Structure 1
């Protein structure tokens, strides 16, 4: 039965109907959006809370729908259950806060008594305060005496002050009701609006999706629907997972604090779970309360130490173990973006903005992944590298940063062999450099820095080892001894600006496989001519006339030796499309020639040639009197 699954759709490509086109229009739009968010806070905060809560409850509703529960019943039950849990937690936390307030005078007295021991005579704080006072006296000098005209009269000194008492009338019952109701009406009204919005968003989810599709671009309905579904699914899963992780963290902190002996552990567990939504500073807000209580309930310092150890270990495990297992390596946001988002949303909406900073920024990053004109949001806020690996290689090489190139190579070589790394990163970077050199955009000093950096990288890669083969895969068979002789494979660079680097890279790949390799020049062992010639070219560097000349000259100097032409081109480009490939393919009609489009393919062809080559020892032809001493230094036509 054929596979009925649809082909995967690209992640981008959507053009929003109302998205501005130019940069000035986008700047004006951003200023307008910030102004609307700032002045429409009272209207937008309940809407945002409802949307995020709908993302959290959407998987629950889907799970109930799979159990054949009607949509309306599933929505109402999930919302009511969530409200019951929230109000139950609120009542419990309120009770804990009340108990804490009742015991505050006792805690204050205990803390004051403990700190007074540090302020005893000869104590550290006493000595510090004495030093500060001495410095202040030295800087301030003597006290200024009162002026002569400020002497008080005897009548003023003996006259008693007049007592003043301000009385307010007793409030009426209506005023008492208003004073009690006013602080409660706002939060209750906001909670009611959020509940109603969540119910309607979950009930009319498909209708809202269709309207968003219309706004995002109905001309490409399939891709737009796929992008919307992917974004909604990712956000729902992320918010539900984050809520579950923070809830478990809060329960763990509450249980641990109860075992340590901290009063009101449920209150601090709730604060710990809530502050997990606040990036970076949430942990400091969480730990401050238990630390103060540890000072109050224990006359010694053991409880304080246990609280510090608890939060240090728990935060490390959450950030380095559990969250990477659930969310992946990160939430999809860069650390700088998290700090900037927390600052921006706190300035915009206050404490509620601080709590919503990470979820809202995740929404923006997901939006940037699916809308072309909003891709800058993912670049600015996401944690994906802003440059492709080959672009990063090219930038570091232009800057002459060989250490950064080595670090990038170490990361890549831990996952893939040398040939694959060079084909995927280094050779595409050389292709970018060659395109700039051909167009005159690469200055000579930049080119020299790039050449030095890549040469140093090639030297460093000689000490790196390939990762072990996967389980079940046999190691490569050893080469015949004759191919280990130095100069058994002769790598000839072309005349392009970076063909020599390509030849060195191919030589390093072949040498790691066990071949005796030499780059340019004559045979390293007298009387032992090369068994294989590898002509190394980058597509777009040398001309086709130069490539044909170098190949014919090598064949004339070493007749009968098999040849491989490496005309490297980007992956996905057919061999027949390149100018050098066409010229070399035409040359293969007159004499045997194997054409490779990558270092990996050239390595495979060399191993194949090694296995099929004749074992007859080749004798070196007598050199002509007018022949140059090197194969790689003779002038060639441009």
Structure 2
């Protein structure tokens, strides 16, 4: 089995950042979301699942030691690697590491056994103390007395209903002869029988432990050979993908087990020391239970806290010790779950919380308590398998922690459903990390591009389109109250704009004839207004001469001829006004290879025109124009009435 690499391999995530997800599906111009790597047919999937479950269930005695040995090899491999670095031969390093692990396990077992024997000796005393404390709660007329009396009365009533009234008979008055007691005494067991009774319960666990130790030794000794054989079985022809999958699995499992073992050991020591200070008997035993139960997801904490609570009730005649125990476990679990484990683990396992619950339930049903301990690492293996095997990608979709949809797809789905509140929540999360213009370029406009592709192909129903437009308009209104995140330390604030550019209508935002170009123009207007520009959308105001006009188009909505006509028409109505053409493309890059970008670039020969393919670019160009602009000398034509929006004008045939 391959060792965990010292640095994250290509494709493996670090402990503080999520693992690399699937490629961006929203970059496609079409909207076909195919099922993620589903098997050939439902019947084949059912047959395969039943066969695997049968093998796992009936091969439990063989598979459990093998799985334990593999997982222990992940934990011990870094120790072997460290000994190898100091020029110790591999066989010696493996034997020393395994012997050291066995010594640690035996020492912990002996210590825990001693603590358990002391607990068993004092159980009668603890039982009497708990009984006295509970009897003190049962005061006359108390709640416990009333509940107990009601239960007893109900039981007597049910018993009396099932009994028939006994009738007196003459023979019943005659006393029956007293029964003669009979006692059966078994012969005293022989020495061999006593030995057999003691050895039988120990043979199974000792045999399993011996098999695990032998398997761990051989896995650590021949890990390269085992890796080569697994590569041969998995696919030697696709060596790169096979190695990536194995390195990813080794890195994730090794990191997870090392981190969890260290964290759980520290947690157990902390609990032991705190319980010793509080005065709870057998603190080492409860610390070991706390460390072991940390491997069990969700229900381990309830098993851990039960023993110390009972001990607190049995030792302390009052309630002070019980309160301290509850405070200890409440604070420690909160810190471990919300502070330390997220810092150490992050998303290294790659499992969703629902997958952890489902995995714990399944493996416990299949293999019992040992399956509960192995649920998380076994499910991690399935997620890694789904990440690298195309036909098993559904495993990663079902069990992994990566979002099933990209942010722009989530935006599109929420907008189609008319869920403006969900759009606002998504925007709030994104705006904590990036400015408004970057969020709109990365999420909102790609979502509108997906909707536009559906509208062009005729698959977007009118009612869905209306719901989408209404939801996005509400989102744009809500975003007016949101603030951009604070700039990084040392980053200078943007320079202030000249006073003339703050006047309403200083920048005119026009939109094309695409189905969602008007929403794009609204978003650009909001970005410019946040920067301090005075913005007017639609058509120019009669009393204001704009200093800059911006034509907003989404690639694929308006045709090239329509875009060029709208730009020429705007120039005729506002001669001498600088123009910016925003031809937003799905990539958001700087290549400008879209049809609209090429058509509008050709129009730059007829007059001053700057091309932008993202909101961030358009904002930078507008700020540049404001910083270098001179007072306008051309007198714009002011018609007696405001002209209609240019995006709604009819284009020539």
TM-score normalised over the length of structure 1:
0.92
C-alpha distance 150-425 of structure 1, shift in aligned 2 (>3 A): farther
Q: What does residue 250 of structure 2 align with?
A: 232
1:59 aligns with one of 75, 78, 91: 78
Counterpart of 1:148 in 2: which secondary structure? coil
Which SS does the other structure have where 1:164 is aligned? Answer: coil
| Alignment partner, residue 559 of structure 1 | 575
CA contact (8 A) 1:367 1:374 kept: yes
Matched, 1:600 2:616: yes
Q: Who is 2:549 aligned against?
A: 533
Do the aligned partners of residues 215 and 617 (structure 1) sit closer, same or farther apart at CA in structure 2, a change above 3 Å counting?
A: farther
> Which of the numbers 608, 611, 625 marks the counterpart of 1:609?
625
CA positional deviation for 1:271: 0.5
Distance in 1, matches of 2:284 and 2:8, equals: 49
C-alpha distance in 2, partners of 1:499/1:140?
A: 80
Q: Tell whether the 8 Å contact from 2:264 to 2:294 is kept in structure 1 after alignment.
A: yes
Is structure 2 residue 537 aligned with structure 1 residue 519? Answer: yes
Q: Which has the higher contact order (CA 8 A, sep 6+)?
A: 2
Counterpart contact for 2:452–2:556, Cα < 8 Å: yes
Match of 2:167 in 1: 148
Structure-1 separation of matches of 2:10 and 2:310:
55
Structure 1: 5+ residue runs without aligned partners? 14-18
| TM-superposed deviation, 1:95 | 1.2
CA distance in 2, matches of 1:109, 1:245: 37
What's the offset of the Cα at 1:613?
Answer: 2.5
Given candidates 478, 498, 501, the residue that maps to 2:516 is 498
The answer for the alignment partner of 1:258 in structure 2 is: 276
Deviation at 1:345, TM superposition (A): 0.7
Paired residues of 2:245 and 2:384 also in contact (CA < 8 A): no
What secondary structure, in the 3-state scheme, does the structure 2 residue paired with 1:473 have? coil
Paired residue for 1:408? 426
Q: Secondary structure at the match of 2:611?
A: strand
Structure 1 range deviating more: 139-148 or 554-563: 139-148
Quote the Cα distance in structure 1 between the aligned partners of 2:205 and 2:9. Answer: 48
Count of residues in Structure 1 that have an aligned counterpart in Structure 2? 625
Partner of 2:651: 636
The alpha-carbon distance between structure 1 residues 263 and 152, as it changes in their structure 2 partners (threshold 3 A), is farther
Query: 1 CA distance for matches of 2:408 and 2:552?
Result: 20
**In 2, Cα distance between equivalents of 1:602 and 1:506:** 8
Aligned to 1:87: 106
How far off is 1:329 after superposition?
Answer: 5.7
CA–CA distance in structure 1, aligned partners of residues 580 and 65 of structure 2: 69
Is 1:585 paired with 2:601? yes
Q: State the Cα distance separating 1:60 from its structure 2 match.
A: 1.4
Distance 1:543 1:431, change over 3 A: same
Match of 1:427 in 2: 445
Within the alignment, does 1:115 sit opposite 2:134 as a pair? yes
1:99 Cα deviation from its structure 2 partner: 1.1
Cα distance in structure 1, aligned partners of 2:361 and 2:148: 36
Matches within 5 A, 1:31-430: 31-133=50-152, 146-148=165-167, 153-154=172-173, 157-328=175-346, 331-430=349-448
How far does residue 268 in structure 1 lie from its aligned partner after superposition? 0.7
Distance 2:312 2:469 in 1: 62
Match of 1:474, SS state, is coil
Query: Are the counterparts in 2 of residues 491 and 533 from structure 1 also a CA contact under 8 Å?
Result: yes
**What secondary structure sits across from 1:594 in the alignment?**
strand
Residue 21 of structure 1, CA deviation: 5.0
Q: What's the RMSD between the two structures over aligned residues?
A: 2.5
Q: Which moved more, 1:128-137 or 1:50-59?
A: 128-137
Q: Give the Cα–Cα distance (whole angstroms) in 1 for the partners of residues 569 and 631 of structure 2.
A: 25
- Taking structure 1 as reference, are residues 617 and 514 closer, same or farther at Cα in structure 2, changes over 3 Å only? farther
C-alpha distance in 1 between matches for 2:588 and 2:516: 21
Deviates more, 1:535-544 or 1:217-226: 217-226
- Counterparts of 1:44 and 1:401, CA distance in 2: 49
Matched, 1:439 2:457: yes
* Structure 2 residue matching 1:615: 3-state secondary structure: coil
**CA displacement, residues 458-495 of structure 1 (integer Å, 9 cap, x when unaligned):** 00111111112111111011111111111111111111
1:271-322: per-residue Cα shift (whole Å, max 9, x none)?
1000001111111101111111111111111111111111101100111111
Q: Secondary structure at the match of 2:391?
A: helix
Farther-moved stretch of structure 1 (272-281 vs 465-474): 465-474
TM (norm. structure 2) is: 0.90
Partners in 2 of 1:302 and 1:12 — Cα distance?
50
Contact kept, 8 Å, 1:567 with 1:598, in 2: the verdict is yes
CA contact (8 A) 2:39 2:392 kept: no
Aligned in 2, Cα 1:44/1:427: closer, same or farther, shift over 3 Å? same
Looking at structure 2, the residues matched to 237 and 315 of structure 1 have their Cα atoms a distance apart, in angstroms, of 22
What corresponds to 2:33 in structure 1? none
Contact 1:488–1:531, Cα closer than 8 Å, also in 2: yes
Mapped contact 1:59–1:237 kept (Cα < 8 A): no
Contact 2:550 2:582 in 1 (8 A): yes
CA 1:119–1:390 in structure 2 vs 1: closer, same or farther (change >3 Å)?
same
Q: Distance in 2 between matches of 1:49 and 1:569?
A: 52
2:468 & 2:130 partners in 1: Cα distance? Answer: 64
- Any idea what SS the aligned residue of 2:122 has? helix
> How far off is 1:234 after superposition?
2.5
Q: Tell me the CA shift for residue 380 of structure 1.
A: 1.4
Measured against aligned partners, the alpha-carbon deviations of 1:436-456 in whole angstroms (never above 9, x if no partner) come to 111222111111111111101
Q: How many Å separate the matches in 1 of 2:48 and 2:66?
A: 21
Instruction: State the distance in 1 between where 2:195 and 2:129 align.
Output: 39
Gaps of 5+ in 2: 1-6, 13-19, 23-37
Aligned 8 A contact 2:575 2:636 in 1? no
